[in-house]
Amino acid sequence: MLPTLPTVPAEVSRAATAELRKITAVRSGWLLPPVLAAVAFVVASASAVRGSGPQPHEALATGTATVGLYLAIAVAVGAAAIGGAVTAGDEYRYRSMGLTALFTPDRDVLFGAKAGVTAIYSLVLAACAEVGAAVGLLAFGRHTVEFGWRLVGVFGGGLLAAVCWGVIGVGLGLLVRSPNLAVIAIAGWLFILEPLIWLVAKGAGIAGVVVLLPGSATIGTVAVGSFPESPFLPPNAASAVVLVIWAVGAGAAGWWYLRTRDI
């Protein structure tokens, strides 16, 4: 007799279904994955045609032919972060959190459903982008791109980075209770504050401190074996751990705020 598989509690299933419908009910929710795949195919094909394979002492370990792949992953990770921030922040923007909490009164379940569905959707976004990029590399870069474990690591790092930033987006959206502020916070940190910290840390002779920042950890997670001389990037495995810690921290902060503050 086969063992019975544990069933998902009805409350969890209902909350997850509601969160999934919030994504798929809007046009951008189901249109974004194929658009990412198409864009990734184009940029990966272009870099595969114009770029070269791995070269000795080159900063990018997988060669310039794979630049399009990294661009596709960056776009997917950005979309995941924005999607997470909007998913959580829109509840307050449209004042629908009270209604959501009415149908899912357990705030632990509510947060888990929101973060879990966002993480899965972020994984789908990254997977679609990477599939599109992989097709482009296979079609136009068979003789230049080195298909090996290092490239597999890049694909895996991209998936992990997208999931982590999706959860970070959810955490920030719940903390600031605004999708716009959450997106501005993410963009401001990655494009302004963290680069400034890099420069200050380098000038102060403590460049190694920035390996603990989320931007550095994201680059190190995806760019497997690249930029070995950079003081700003930790090794790949350490980068992944640091990025996961940031995701857990942001998610935990959002969960705590959701539990302890009035909706």
Q: Could you report the per-residue pLDDT of 87-115, keeping only the tens digit for each?
A: 999 999 999 998 888 888 999 999 999 99
pLDDT at res. 53: 76
Dihedrals phi, psi of 31, to nearest 5 degrees = -85, -30
* 5 pLDDT higher than 60: no
Specify if 102 maps to a domain.
yes
Structure confidence by residue, pLDDT tens digits, 41-100: 999 999 999 887 777 667 787 888 899 999 999 999 999 999 999 999 999 999 999 888
Say if residues 262 and 101 touch (Cβ distance below 8 Å): no
Q: Which amino acid is present at 255?
A: W
The one-character DSSP state at 108 is H
- Residue 167 domain flag: yes
Number of domains in the chain: 1
Residue 190 lies in a domain: yes
CB 43 within 8 A of CB 68: yes
On whether residue 4 sits in a domain, the answer given is: no
Q: Evaluate whether residue 249 is within a structural domain.
A: yes
- Identify whether the C-beta of residue 93 lies closer than 8 Å to the C-beta of residue 178: yes
Q: How far does CA 192 lie from the centroid of its chain?
A: 19
pLDDT, one tens digit per residue, over 186-223 is 999 999 999 999 999 988 888 888 999 999 999 999 98
- CA pair distance 262, 112, nearest whole angstrom: 18
**Which of the 8 DSSP states describes residue 26?**
S
* Structural domain harbouring 165: 11-260
- Output DSSP code: residue 150: H
Residue 1 belongs to a domain:
no
Give the whole-angstrom CA distance, residue 239 versus residue 74: 16
